[in-house]
Amino acid sequence: MNKIVFATNNANKLREAAEILAPLGIEVISQREAGADCEPEENGVTFAENAMIKAKAVFDIVKIPVFADDSGLCVDALDGRPGVYSARYAPKGQECAKLLDEMKDIPDDKRNASFQCVIAYVDENSSFTVNGACLGKIGYEEKGENGFGYDPVFVCGEKTMAEMTAEEKNAVSHRGAALTALYKMLAKG
C-alpha cells in the first residue's frame, strides 16, 4: 500500500496522521483529494460506530484503503459529556467557553477528563478499529496557541494540549495513540 485515505478534510488531523504514518512510506490524503465529497451522517452512539460509518462511506466511493476517526472529550464530572457529541456540543469556536462555564463550580479533584479516539480502517478485504486515550483534567481558563477544539482547556501534565509542540502532543494525544496503534497494524501487513 502506498496511499491511504483519511476520511476527513480537517487539515490539522491530516497533518497529524501524515506525521505519524510517514515512516511506513504511505502517503496520507484527504477524502476530498481522493474524490470523496461526502458527509456521512454520524448517527452512531459510540466513537467506534461513527468512525466505521465514515470509513465505509468513503471506501465505497474511492475503493482504496481508508481510515476514519471519531474522537471526543469525556468529562467525568459531566457523566462523560460531551463524548460523541463533542463536535456538536457548542457552536464552533465556543466549545471551550461552554465547557468552562459548565465546570465553573467543579473542584480541582473532580475535573478529571479524557480525550478518546477510535480509528476505523476499511479496505477491500478487512475492517478493524483501534483506539487511544489521553488522560488529563479540565483547566480553569484557555491557554496556548497550538492545537484546536478543546486543546486550550485540556491539561495533560503541566501544560494544556494547546501549549504543547506538535511532537509533544503526538507523544501523548488520544489521536496520536490511536494512530500509533493503526501504524502497528499496517506495519504487520
Map the chain to HEC letters: CCEEEECCCCHHHHHHHHHHHHHHCCEEEEHHHHCCCCCCCCCCCCHHHHHHHHHHHHHHHHCCCEEEEEEEEEEHHHCCCEHHHHHHCCCCCCHHHHHHHHCCCCCHHHCEEEEEEEEEEECCCCEEEEEEEEEEEECCCCCCCCCCCCHHHEEECCEEHHHCCHHHHHHHCHHHHHHHHHHHHHHHC
Active-site amino acid positions: 70
